[in-house]
Amino acid sequence: MRTCRIAPSILSADFARLGEEVRDVTEAGADWIHFDVMDNHYVPNLTVGPQVLKAIRPWTKAPIDVHLMVEPVDALIPAFIDAGADIITFHCEASKHIDRTLQLIRERGAKAGLVFNPATPLSYLDHVMDRLDLVLLMSVNPGFGGQSFIPSTLEKVRMVKERFDRYEAETGRRIMIEVDGGIKAGNIADVAAAGADTFVAGSAVFGAGSKEGYRDVINAMRAN
Ligand code: DX5
Ligand code: ZN
């Protein structure tokens, strides 16, 4: 059976009730909570920081997947880990020393991942495979929820999957493939067939409006 982790993005949740939203979406079946951090520098939008992560941490036992859309990255990592991040991903272009940033995350006990924008070349993978727990392939340009899925992502997912299969055969270690942006019940099957195992969904899940709605969407996504 294929792995299918659903990671709702809090970007589309009700920020006035963030703790309850995180609890509700966890009870509705979310595997991870995706926490989008934007700095109005690396991306043209501004969201939340470690204090908000700390505030929501008690509301779920699910792993919290912190997606850093910030530049520079390194100075913020300890604060996010102390606040309860289980997974931290950052963008290839946002760190001057990718290898160092990956080490920093893992040394402090979190899982580490590299994020690829739609136009970021996969050559960034060349020398860091051993340091990666996951990659996050963006299927929209980062900065906003509710955008449309960019179809060329599918080919990119297939290329990464092939590469990670070979790597697993050589090393016995599986690197996860997460996809983020414009994923909904209607297109998740294509993304899964291309080889992704973890699916971020913001507007599709939280747009459903209630815990029952979240459950329906998450179940529909899982049934792909
Ligand atoms: C975009 C964020 C995404 C976004 C996903 O920059 O990284 O996580 O919130 O939202 P949807 O699912 O609405 O595209
Ligand atoms: Zn994200």
Query: What would the pLDDT profile of 68-118 be if each residue is shown by its tens digit?
Result: 999 999 999 999 999 999 999 999 999 999 999 999 999 999 999 999 999
Question: Which residues of the chain are under the pLDDT cut of 70?
Answer: none
Spacing, Cα 170 to ligand 2 middle (Å): 30
9: nearest Cα among 20, 28, 23, 25: 25
Distance between CA atoms of residues 113 and 149, nearest Å: 21
Instruction: Specify whether 180 is catalytic.
Output: yes
The pLDDT value recorded for residue 221 is: 98
Catalytic residue among 24, 36, 65, 133: 36
Question: Can you tell me which residue has the tokens 């050589």?
Answer: 170
CATH no. of 5-222: 3.20.20.70
Spacing, Cα 172 to ligand 1 middle (Å): 31
The pLDDT value recorded for residue 1 is: 72
Instruction: List the beta bridge partners of residue 39.
Output: 46
Residues 6+ apart with CB under 8 A from 195: 157, 158, 160, 161, 162, 164, 177
Query: Does ipTM come in above 0.85?
Result: yes
For ligand 2, a single-atom ion, the residues with CB < 5 A are: 36, 67, 180
For the chain, the structural domain boundaries read: 5-222
Give the ligand 1 atom nearest the CA of 181.
14
For ligand 1, atom 4, name the residue with the nearest CA.
145
The pLDDT value recorded for residue 224 is: 85
Distance between CA atoms of residues 51 and 27, nearest Å: 23
Q: Answer whether 8 contacts ligand 1 (Cβ < 6 A).
A: no
According to the annotation, is 34 in a ligand binding site? yes
